[in-house]
Chain A
Amino acid sequence: MISQFFVLSQRGDNIVFRDYRGEVQKGSTEVFFRKVKFWKEDGQEEAQAPPVFNVDGVNYFHVKVAGLLFAATTRVNASPSLVLELLQRVARVIKDYLGVLSEDSLRKNFVLVYELLDEVIDFGFVQTTSTEMLKSYIFNEPIPVESSRVPPLGPAAIFMQGNKRMPGTAVTKSVIANEPAGKKREEIFVDIIEKISVTFSSSGYILTSEIDGTIQMKSYLTGNPEIRVALNEELNIGRGGRSVYDYRSSTGSGAVILDDCNFHESVRLDSFDLNRTLTLVPPDGEFPVMNYRMTQEFRPPFRINALVEEAGTLKAEVIIKVIAEYSSSITANTVMVQMPLPKYTTRATFELESGAVGQNADFREASKKLEWSLKKIAGGAEHTLRAKLTFSQEYHGNISKESGPVNMTFTIPMYNASGLQVKYLQIAKKPTYNPYRWVRYVTQANSYVARL
């Protein structure tokens, strides 16, 4: 049960504020914002505020979505999971209705937002967060905002890179917006989004690896037909009691072994055990059909070799090599390699490989970090960066203990590391019905780290 709900901008302005129970004093938004802004850990270092905290008997919950703070307060000992999940869901519902979630769109559509909030929560109790069900209660129409300038929300956002859009990325339209000329485009998006975490030891071994995946769906089909999503037939779930880090039995068999997965409420699993098919009637709006987690060994898309060497007094050299190990038909984009350098580094000069295009290297003086960005890396390619460092004082001991680890972020469209696939997407309706179906794969780095 919550007492108040509000949305604040990054500057702390009230964009939306709804008091459901009148139990929490008026200045709560200011109290909240001051706490979040100047959070102190153990009275010392400034740190990021945890999503839940208590000030004078009031519990504050918040999530950050699209640069905005979605927050709730309560005086009771509520379930943090429930409230945080609710905040996230409210953000998604609002996004479903406005098309775009931003300060601008919220301000322009606040009446619609209040309308939604009144139906989603009554006297602090959740009534429904289903975009579908809410449709019958909502009467305001969204006022569209220019969507190209605002960063879109949610996992699907990674399908938009700069100006280049992947086909059919018009997922910024509202679920209740009327299309121009009254036509509604029949389409459905199924996105397989994987976030991978890998830690390489200094000798290049994989210490830990994990894939966290989501099958995300957004349907614009009229009449909500039933949909069947078929996954790999050789898909196993659970590792039968063995330690999840026991790789022996899983290599080379071609089977995809998930540690665990969970499903959206609408998914029926009647034939899942038989032929790995999910049956569902997709509700309106964007939602995760299935979340999964895999620690089965997989081939990481990049190998990273990094080296720091002394080069005389007050000098050192850094060599970072990145090798793309995926097929040449695939290209990774917005790659960024970062490496913390010793505190006493004063200068770094870079040497990119000859003929390098779309690469840039920089030394961030304030954070003492090396940053190497690459617009794209084609499959099979290999790129190297050399950097000469100058120090203000002599280093002692082991210089590689003073720098690193190397961290890499990237996005690889049309690639997924787990091997999980959507074999087909069947829409149960009359045979002539043939809407657009978009099945898209993308892989992102979550924590991709190489130690020195």
Chain B
Amino acid sequence: MAPPATAQRNPSPSQPSGKGEVSDLKLQLRQLAGSRAPGVDDSKRDLYKKVISYMTVGIDVSSVFGEMVMCSATSDIVLKKMCYLYVGNYAKVNPDLALLTINFLQRDCKDEDPMIRGLALRSLCSLRVPNLVEYLVGPLGTGLKDNNSYVRMVAVIGVLKLYHISAPTCIDADLPERLKHLLLNDPDAQVVANCLTTLQEIWALESGKSEEASREREALLSKPVIYYLLNRIKEFSEWAQCIVLELVVKYIPTDTNEIFDIMNLLEDRLQHANGAVVLATIKVFLQLTLSMTDVHQQVYERIKAPLLTLVSSGSPEQSYAVLGHLHLLVMRAPVLFSSDYKHFYCQYNEPFYVKKLKLEMLTAVANESNTYEIVTELCEYAANVDIPIARESIRAVGKIALQQYDVNAIVDRLLQFLEMEKDYVTAETLVLVKDLLRKYPQWSHDCIAVVGNISSKNIQEPKAKAALIWMLGEYSQDMDDAPYILESLIESWEDEHSAEVRLHLLTAVMKCFFKRPPETQKALGAALAAGVADFHQDVHDRALFYYRLLQYNVSVAEKVVNPPKQAVSVFADTQSSEVKDRIFDEFNSLSVVYQKPSYMFTDKEHRGPFEYSDEVAGISIGADPADNVVPAQHVEANDKDLLLSTYEEEDTRSVISNGSAYNAPLYDSSAPLVASQTQTDIGSLDTSTSQTPSASLAIDDLLGLGLSITTAPVPPPALTLNPKAVLDPGTFQQKWRQLPVSLSQEFPVSPQGVAGLTAPQALVRHMQGHSIQCIASGGQSPNLKFFFSAQKSGSSSYFLVECIINTSSAKAQIKVKADDQGATNDFATLFQTALSKFGTA
């Protein structure tokens, strides 16, 4: 309700502000209080309305509390409602006055009109006054038994309100137990839905304190409850359906038949006009099929059309929320959306936040077949009058260039941007050209020719200026004017406000000096002098550092400042795959729209009941209450991942190299040891799995959607491999001929993996570390072919793999043959996990 007077904002002239009006009202109400004259209700209504309207605009009308209560002895329901509204608003700040209302509210809870019973009960529970809770238990208990569903509906939520005022009172009165009964027996669907939300919230908050509560919470996910709710799904309102679906997401079916049954049952929910229902359904589908590669892919295909329809049918705000989720899916599996790129074209009238998402999706889905069209479209936006979009579009073109194999045409487009002579276009383009040259130095000739024509005077933005200066330094041998342009820039050192630019200037003039000493010497002297005198610490230090280096030895200085460089193969991704997976696990929540996992924007106390993985952690740990602290640690661990990703990488590397060392033939370690090694290795991919070691199997979905690791306890790792298995090439060939192909699939290889394949032996060693031995390898880039074998530990059954990796399309095709065909899928998962980690360590 409207905040009382403290938050009062400038009242407009039409709104009374003073005490005069309030005391006037008080007087009038008092006169009417005892009256039984005909028509008195109408005058009361008018006065009540005035009181409420003052309250809304922020005038403190708590002083009429007594009069309001006195007047409420009426059978007029409109009056009663207004009175309840008033009381609910002021009771909390005036607990003494609230006591006055208890009597008449309790009386109303026994009224013969169910509407009044319900309303009174709701008001009673909304008073939020701790010392009045004793008066709540009785009416709530009666309310839960009421024969009218409206009253029961109100009573169930009332239990939750009571819990928040005084948890012990609620628990001691055994109210949750009553709700459990109603949950499974009440004929009214909304009562059931309210029971579900209330119980979920109470158990989640209680589970920190009691073992029993976490068991209760687990019980909500039991098969009978889930099936009971699912079978009634259509009786629920669309909102209640969302609540049920959120619960179903956490349910773990026992076998695939169950998964298909649930999906068939929910299939028509995808045609619902309410986006929230559709997204909740999609979440169920995605989570259920995580470990079933081809079905998971089918789900993607199935949900495309409904998502696109939702994007284009609702208000811009609604379509933004859906688009955010589509964006997440596109980013996970761009390949599956590559033919839908036209849907991501921007429309004229869309707000910036929608266009920005679409540009990112266009960037992600660009591949050999559609790049030309996408880039053409983006170039249209780059010429757009809408400057922020123009900038974003140019960045998008640049990103596509950086991720593509054949950038020829795109470089031309980028260079054309420079000819448009719009300052912001030029600025964005320069930054991109710089990045492009760092990755594809072979393009320097074409680029430098164009960049050389740009007058540095026309560039104001520091980032762009820095990029230009970097190119001047890096390619000073190819640009005739380089020393002179740098010299003129150094002359206006004083006017250069950006430290970044001055730092670049120092480095560039150094590089230029090594290549063309006579022409640059003067400029270098001036730059070092200016730099040493600079007030900015970094600039000062760098200038001094260069100066001393040069003093010591010029050729050493050159080796330090301008050694031959390797082209950058991949620019680092801004988000780690753990973070991405967490966001995916939090599908249909704000995490998706913010593109951040919930722990980054939610306070701890508000996280518990709604966070998916916490929930699951609670379940899998089950009876052990000490483990309730795990989620928090888990969050911190993840935080650390994000901040210290480089350290993390080093750790992983050491683990893996250790692994391969243990696998060397000399070292005859026992199988279990190495098996556990492999396991921690897998576990280290996501800290969340390591907290439940018995259930830590990294499920890598074979879509190549990156690493997606379910936190759900999946069947325990069915498969461990014998690290010292040996299969001689002859036997391999023989087996290969005999066995049928039991699995054949294709999945993408990470760019790091592709980069690592410049030395195929590295992959062979890497796979060895995962107990997968290479029998033979061959082929020419871009097509590399490997034969691998592996043996199931403790058994004589072998797996044989033919693996063809195409480095230009970044895809791997595998054919698996197995003695024990039942284990093929598990093996394929292991194999792919191993492969996907190649290059990342």
Listed in ascending order, the chain A residues whose CB lies under 8 Å from chain B are: 1, 13-19, 22-23, 26-27, 30, 41, 44-45, 47-48, 50-52, 54, 57, 59, 62-65, 75-82, 84-88, 110-111, 114-115, 118, 122-123, 125-130, 136-137, 139-140, 197, 199, 207-208, 210, 212, 214, 238, 243-245, 259-265, 288, 290-293, 340, 368, 396-397, 401-402, 405, 407, 446-449, 451
B388 and A451 form a contact (CB under 8 A): no
Q: B824 interface residue, CB < 8 Å from A?
A: no
| B150, B343, B611: the one within 8 Å of A77 (CB) | B611
| A/B interface sample: 12 pairs, CB < 8 A | A45-B388, A50-B320, A50-B593, A65-B315, A76-B610, A77-B601, A77-B602, A79-B589, A123-B160, A245-B342, A290-B273, A449-B348
Q: B380 interface residue, CB < 8 Å from A?
A: yes
Question: Once bound together, how far apart are the Cα atoms of A94 and B463, in whole Å?
Answer: 51
Contacts of B7 in A (CB 8 A): 26-27
Contacts of B57 in A (CB 8 A): 14
Question: Once bound together, how far apart are the Cα atoms of A447 and B348, in whole Å?
Answer: 5
In the complex formed, the residue of A with least CB distance to B588 is: A79
Contacts of B305 in A (CB 8 A): 238, 259-260, 293
A293 and B308 form a contact (CB under 8 A): yes
Question: Once bound together, how far apart are the Cα atoms of A54 and B590, in whole Å?
Answer: 10
Given contacts A79-B588, A80-B593, A447-B350, contact A259 B308 (CB under 8 A): yes
Contacts of B314 in A (CB 8 A): 85, 88
Question: Once bound together, how far apart are the Cα atoms of A44 and B388, in whole Å?
Answer: 9
Contacts of A41 in B (CB 8 A): 352, 388
Question: Once bound together, how far apart are the Cα atoms of A206 and B350, in whole Å?
Answer: 20
| B81, B161, B349: the one within 8 Å of A115 (CB) | B81
Question: Once bound together, how far apart are the Cα atoms of A30 and B7, in whole Å?
Answer: 10
A76 and B348 form a contact (CB under 8 A): no
Q: B776 interface residue, CB < 8 Å from A?
A: no
Q: How far is the CB of B580 from chain A (nearest CB, A)?
A: 17
Contacts of B350 in A (CB 8 A): 447
In the complex formed, the residue of B with least CB distance to A264 is: B273
Question: Once bound together, how far apart are the Cα atoms of A15 and B388, in whole Å?
Answer: 34
B313 and A212 form a contact (CB under 8 A): yes
Question: Once bound together, how far apart are the Cα atoms of A429 and B77, in whole Å?
Answer: 35
Contacts of B161 in A (CB 8 A): 123
B313 and A262 form a contact (CB under 8 A): yes
Q: How far is the CB of B397 from chain A (nearest CB, A)?
A: 15
Q: How far is the CB of B34 from chain A (nearest CB, A)?
A: 24
Chain A interface main SS type: mixed
Contact string, B1-45, partner A, CB cutoff 8 A, digits 1/0?
Answer: 111001101001000000000000000000000000000000000
Question: Once bound together, how far apart are the Cα atoms of A34 and B368, in whole Å?
Answer: 45
B190 and A127 form a contact (CB under 8 A): yes
B611 and A261 form a contact (CB under 8 A): no
Contacts of A199 in B (CB 8 A): 345
Listed in ascending order, the chain B residues whose CB lies under 8 Å from chain A are: 1-3, 6-7, 9, 12, 48-49, 52-53, 56-58, 77-78, 81-82, 85, 92, 115, 122, 128, 150, 153-154, 157, 160-161, 190, 194, 197, 237-240, 242, 271-276, 278-280, 305-306, 308-310, 312-318, 320-322, 324-325, 339-340, 342-343, 345, 347-353, 377, 380, 383, 385, 387-388, 419-421, 586, 588-594, 598, 601-603, 606-607, 609-611
| A23, A52, A130, A262: the one within 8 Å of B590 (CB) | A52
A86 and B239 form a contact (CB under 8 A): yes
Question: Once bound together, how far apart are the Cα atoms of A108 and B603, in whole Å?
Answer: 39
Question: Once bound together, how far apart are the Cα atoms of A130 and B610, in whole Å?
Answer: 26
Question: Once bound together, how far apart are the Cα atoms of A126 and B611, in whole Å?
Answer: 20
B313 and A79 form a contact (CB under 8 A): no
The total of Cβ contacts below 8 Å across the A-B interface reads 253
Given contacts A52-B590, A140-B78, contact A75 B602 (CB under 8 A): yes
Given contacts A262-B271, A262-B306, A293-B312, contact A128 B321 (CB under 8 A): no
Question: Once bound together, how far apart are the Cα atoms of A140 and B78, in whole Å?
Answer: 6
Contacts of B3 in A (CB 8 A): 17, 26
Q: How far is the CB of A197 from chain B (nearest CB, A)?
A: 6
| A54, A244, A340: the one within 8 Å of B601 (CB) | A54
In the complex formed, the residue of A with least CB distance to B318 is: A84
In the complex formed, the residue of B with least CB distance to A212 is: B312
Q: Which among A44, A64, A139, A214 has the highest number of chain B CB atoms within 10 Å?
A: A139
Contacts of B420 in A (CB 8 A): 397, 401
| A79, A84, A447: the one within 8 Å of B349 (CB) | A447
Contacts of B588 in A (CB 8 A): 79, 81
Question: Once bound together, how far apart are the Cα atoms of A109 and B561, in whole Å?
Answer: 74
Question: Once bound together, how far apart are the Cα atoms of A26 and B271, in whole Å?
Answer: 40
Name 14 extra pairs, CB < 8 A, besides A26-B7, A30-B9: A50-B351, A80-B324, A81-B318, A84-B315, A111-B52, A118-B81, A122-B122, A123-B161, A139-B77, A245-B339, A245-B342, A262-B278, A293-B313, A447-B347
In the complex formed, the residue of B with least CB distance to A107 is: B53
Question: Once bound together, how far apart are the Cα atoms of A129 and B242, in whole Å?
Answer: 14
